[in-house]
Amino acid sequence: MASLELKSYERPSALALVRTVAAIIFRAVSLIAAVALATGVGVWSSRYMISRGSPLSVDSYGPWQHWRALGRENADPYSKAHLASTGKLRISADSAGIFEARTDSQGARLHSSCNYKIDGASLPGLWWSLSVFDARGRLIRNDADRYTFTADTIAPNPNGSYVVTLGRDARPGNWIPTGGAGRLVLVFTVLDPANGLSDEQRVERNKRLPVITRESCS
């Protein structure tokens, strides 16, 4: 008859138990950190897509961004969320070109501590407006009650071009005060004529967007 060999049970040492528990805790913490990181990245990317857009929803022309489906019934979710986040009623992209700029033409962030010159080309037959907002999309209060210039209110150059200045201190000409608003957002809106614009005309319009030049900062 075969004999049954019994091995004695060896109780794990305290050090081995500590190592096992530490390994379990490390795996749990790593899993929680990975989930938190993935969630954080997802939330950040969603907020960025809603605020700034991506090539899927936005066309860029120098510092200007154009949400191509803004206000349309078939707009993508990010365009709809961007419109909702502004809290404003915007004209549909089918009826106007609406362009936003958060930087100057050299790529530096727009800020009220700096003075800017905005050079605009003539846009014959098209009505346009240029407005400045703070980073939350609010008009900037000022004693001069100046918030925007339009094709009707601008003082143009003889050739139809124009210059608008932004800054804290008053200056002659087409000046919009920025006060102490901090970061700025420019919105340039060009209405389509009653008979609309062809694709070629839209391309030409988009080539004539204003140039934003920073002059000085304090």
CA distance 142 to 177: 7
- Does the pTM exceed 0.75? no
Rg of the chain over CA atoms, in angstroms?
29
What pLDDT digit, counting tens, does each position of 105-154 carry?
A: 999 999 999 999 999 999 998 999 999 999 988 999 999 999 999 999 99
What pLDDT digit, counting tens, does each position of 56-84 carry?
A: 667 899 999 988 755 555 555 555 555 55
Calculate the alpha carbon distances from 191 to 61, 90, 119, 128, 200 in Å: 18, 12, 19, 6, 16
Farthest CA pair distance, the chain:
118
Averaged confidence pLDDT in the chain: 81
Note the CATH architecture for domain 54-217.
Sandwich (2.60)
Q: Which long-range contacts (CB under 8 A, 24 or more apart) does 41-49 make?
A: 49/78
The domain segmentation of the chain, as residue ranges, is 20-51, 54-217
Q: Is 208 helix (H, G, I), strand (E, B) or coil?
A: coil
